[in-house]
Chain A
Amino acid sequence: MNTIWALAGIVIKELYRRKDFYVLFVLTALITIAAGMVNFFDDPKIVRYVKDICMLLIWISALLIAIVTTARQIPAERESRTIFPLLAKPVTRGQFILGKFLGCWLATGIALLVFYVFFAIITGSREQNWPWLTYLQAIWLQWAMLAVVIALSLLGSIISAAPSSTTTICFIAVAGILLVGGHLNTVALHQSQPLQTIFYTIYFLIPHLEWFDIRDRVIYDWGLVDWLDCVLATLYAAAYTGLFLLLTWLGFRRKSLNT
C-alpha cells in the first residue's frame, strides 16, 4: 500500500507544479465574479444565474483536470523512460496502475475542494445561505463520478499512445454520456430493430454519469438527495471504476513498454 501511496503522491505534486489547475481556477473565478457583478434591473438578490455559471465552469474544469492529468500519466512515463527504473523497483504493474489512479483521483479531489470553497464563498456572500450538506453531497457525487472518468481515461491511455487522442476521445465519451446517456432509452423506443436493441444495449452498458450531476438541486435549492441513494450511487461508481481499472491492468500487464 505504501508503494501505491508513494506513486499517488508524485501525481499530486505534479498537479500543483503544473499550470492547468491554476489557469482553470483563475478563469472560473474571473468569469463568475464578472457575471456576479452585472446588475440586472437593480436587484442585488438575483443569485441563481451566478450559481449556474459557476457550477458549469466547475464541472468543465474538473473534467478537464481529471482527463488531461490522467491521460498523460502512462505515456509520459514511457516517453521519458522513467517507467523502467520504476518497475525495476519492487513495484508491480497492478500497483503502478492503482498508484496512478489514486494520485489522479486525489489530485482531482483537492482541485474540486478548492473550486467548491470558492463557489460556497461567492454564493454564500450573495444569498447569506450556506447549505454545507448539499455542497458536501454535490462534491462527493462529482468526485465519485470523476473516479469512473479517471479509470476510463487510464484505460484509454494504455490503448492509445498519444495523450491528445485519449483526452479527446474520453472528453467526447463523457460529454456524450452526460448529455445523452440518460435519454437513450427514450430514443430507443422510437427506433426500429435492430437500432432499438443497439441503443438499449448501449444504454444498459454505459456508466450513467448523469446521476452524479446534482447541479440543478444545488442551483434551485431543492435540498438533499437521500443518503441511501448517495451510498448506492457511490457503489455503482465504485463498480465501474473497478471494472475499468481491471481492464486497464489486463491490458497493461502484457503491454510492451518500449515506445
Chain B
Amino acid sequence: MKASPYLVLALMLAVCFTLATSLEPNAALWSNRAKSGNVFSLLFGDGRRMFANEFFTMADVYFHSGYYPSVFDLREEDQKEIVAESHGHTDSPEDEIKEDFLGKPKDWIDRFGRHFRVTKHTHLERGNEREILPWLRLAADMDPQKIETYTVGAYFLCQHLKQPQEAEAFLREGLRNNPGNYEILFGLGRLYYQNYHDIDRARNVWQLALNCWMKQDATLQKENKLGFEEITVNLANLEREAGNCQDAINWFQAAQKVSPAPDVLQQQIDEIKVKMAAQPSPTNSQPH
C-alpha cells in the first residue's frame, strides 16, 4: 500500500504538535535552569567543573608556552603561576630550580626525545599573554563559581594587555555569578585605582571587599589571610597617596596583624610618620 505524501505530511505535523505539547513544560524548566547557570551547566551538570579546572590548567600551559609537567612528572602541587603572577609574585632563582621538572635525562631515549620537546621555562610577555584568554573564558563558562578565573583574567587584561574595560566587564560578570566575593571586589578596586585612577571608587570597593572578607566564618578568615593583607595594604597605599597619612598608618597596622613580613610594613609606617612630622599642620581623620 502506498501512502499519500499529504497523509505522511499530516501525520508528521500531528506528531510534531503532540511532541510540542508534551515537551513544552519541560522546555520551560530547561530555560529556568539555563537562567541559573549557562548552556554548559545544562549539558554537563557538575561535571563541567572538571573541565573548568582543565581549561584553567591549559591557560597555565599556554603561559609557559608548552613547558609544563605531565601527570607522570613528579612536581610539588602548589599554586599555578598565572595565579601567583596575578598576586604580584615573580620567580626567584629557587623557584626556577623547583620548576625544572625535567631534571637530567634518564637515558638516551629521554635525551634524544628532548630535542623535539619544549625544554625551556619561559613566561609569555610583550602582549602574547592574550593567548591564555580563550582558556580562561572557557573556564569561566564551565564553572562560573571559580573565582580565580575572573581575578587572573582581569589581571592579565589590565596589567599586560591594557584592556581595562574588558577586565571590568569580566570582573562584573564574576561578581554577578558570585555576589559579595571579596577577591573579585579587590580586583575591581585595583582596576579603579591603577587603571582609572579613581581613588574614591577604589576606596569604596576595597572597603566593601573588606566587609565581605569579615563576613566569612573564622576558619575561612584564617585560610584567607593573604586576601585581608592585600586589601588593607592597598587601602593603606591609597590613603597615603590621597594624603590621609593617619588612615594609611591604621591600615598598615591592620595588615601587620596577618602579614608574614610585619617588619616591611613597619618601615612603611615609619616613613609615613617621618613625613607627618615634617608637615606643619596634619589633617588626618579616622579610617573610613
Contacts and interface: CB of A to CB of B under 8 A. Distances in A.
B65 A220 contact: yes
Given A38-B134, A186-B72, A220 B113 contact: no
Contacts of B166: 41-43
Contacts of A40: 133-134, 137
B109 interface: yes
A183 to B, nearest CB: 4
A48 interface: yes
B135 A49 contact: yes
Interface string A28-72: 000000000010111101111100000000000000000000000
Given A42-B166, A213-B116, A229-B116, A185 B134 contact: no
Interface residues on A, range: 35 or more
Contacts of A233: 116
Contacts of A100: none
B106 interface: yes
B150 interface: no
Nearest to B156: A41
A203 interface: yes
A94 to B, nearest CB: 31
A229 B115 contact: yes
B73 A226 contact: no
Contact of B116 (A41, A49, A217): A217
Contacts of B113: 182, 208, 210-211
A211 B116 contact: yes
B106 A186 contact: yes
A216 B62 CA distance: 10
Contacts, number: 83
- Which of A42, A43, A213: most chain B Cβ within 10 A? A43
Interface in A202-259: 203-204, 208, 210-214, 216-217, 219-222, 225-226, 229, 232-233
Contacts of B131: 46-49
Nearest to B166: A41
B119 to A, nearest CB: 10
A220 B122 CA distance: 11
Contacts of B118: 216-217, 220, 222
B128 to A, nearest CB: 9
B262 to A, nearest CB: 39
Contacts of A204: 109
A49 B110 contact: no
Contacts of A46: 130-131, 133-134
A47 B132 CA distance: 10
A208 B133 CA distance: 33
Contacts of B112: 211, 229, 232
Interface in B110-157: 110, 112-113, 115-118, 127, 130-131, 133-135, 137, 157
Given A46-B130, A141-B116, 13 more contacts: A41-B130, A43-B166, A49-B134, A182-B113, A183-B70, A186-B72, A211-B113, A216-B66, A217-B116, A219-B66, A220-B65, A225-B116, A232-B112
Closest 10 CB pairs of A and B: A183-B72, A216-B66, A220-B65, A229-B115, A49-B134, A48-B131, A41-B166, A220-B66, A40-B134, A186-B72
Interface of B: 62, 65-66, 70, 72-74, 106-107, 109-110, 112-113, 115-118, 127, 130-131, 133-135, 137, 157, 161, 163, 166, 170
